[in-house]
Amino acid sequence: MATFPYKGVVFDFNGTLFNDHEKHLLAWQQMAKTLAGYDLSEEELEQHFHGVPNQVIIERLVGRSVDHETLEKYSQKKEALYREACLADPAHLHLLAGAEAYFDKLQAAKIPMTICSASIKANIDFFFEVFNLARWFMYEKVVYDDGSYPDKIRMYQQACHHLGLDPADVRVYEDAPSGIQNALAAGIGQIVVISPKACAIQDDRIIGIYPDFQSCV
């Protein structure tokens, strides 16, 4: 049986397991026009929006703090636009190559795993339905943006807690520079970057960069 140099795995979702960058860009561009009256560039999305809780993004767009009711309204609107964009492109509504086989491999080895996503609950429900994630993941152990986390550092720490593991014993799969920095700050022991681009962040805990999960199988 294969041995694993980690005790558990936490997956970021958007951009890591599911290539949905363009769908988020479309949705946030529409929201930026609605809330701020300007066109959101892909560069701005990458630098300030990717992997960030909706509250932070919405308050950035409106230029002030917002109450819970307003945040919920705008957040639900943006994510509804995102899901519409996903369903409108069924050819790309699938997980990255090798992901399902890697889940099977971890499951067979009894390596605990979960998802840590900046998505809201409605999107997590959507992902569980369209990708049948219940085959591998316990819904109640998934960490998502429920409005209680100040940043993804705490989200990653909570995900490790759900696995019953110290962050130093966990491997994280991430794509976004901000998410990688947050995983490092959370004390994660190993980080694998899933991206077609080079990673500018230098840290010994970043152990590999791959375009998908085929090399993990």
Has residue 170 got a pLDDT over 70? yes
The pLDDT assigned to 51 comes to 65
* Same-domain status, 72 and 179: no
Tens-place pLDDT, residues 13-72: 999 999 998 998 899 999 999 998 888 887 887 777 776 778 888 998 988 998 989 988
Residue ending a domain, choose from 57, 90, 123: 90
- Whether residue 140 sits in one domain with residue 77: no
Same domain? For 192 and 139 the reply is: yes
pLDDT in tens, 84-140: 999 999 999 999 999 999 999 999 999 999 999 988 899 999 999 999 999 999 999
Q: Residue 2: inside a domain, yes or no?
A: no
5: pLDDT strictly greater than 60: yes
Residue where a domain terminates, one of 68, 90, 112: 90
pLDDT of residue 24: 87
Same domain, 58 and 139: no
For residue 206, which phi and psi values (nearest 5 degrees)?
-85, 105
What CATH number is associated with residue 85? 1.10.150.240
Domain that holds residue 156: 8-18+94-216
- Identify which has the larger pLDDT, 145 or 80: 80
- Whether 3 is covered by a domain: the verdict is no
Same domain, 80 and 170: no
186 and 117 part of one domain: yes
Are 81 and 102 in the same domain? no
Say whether both 110 and 163 belong to one domain: yes
Are residues 146 and 69 located together in one domain of the fold?
A: no
User: Does residue 35 form part of some domain?
Assistant: yes
For residue 10, pLDDT beyond 90 = yes
Number of domains present in the structure of the chain: 2
Structure tokens, 151: 């940043």
103 and 186 share a domain? yes
Judge if 136 and 209 occupy the same domain. Answer: yes
User: With bands split at pLDDT 50, 70 and 90, how would you rate the model's confidence at 185?
Assistant: very high
pLDDT computed for residue 2 by the predictor: 63
Which of 65, 90, 115 terminates a domain? The answer is 90
User: Do 31 and 112 belong to one domain?
Assistant: no
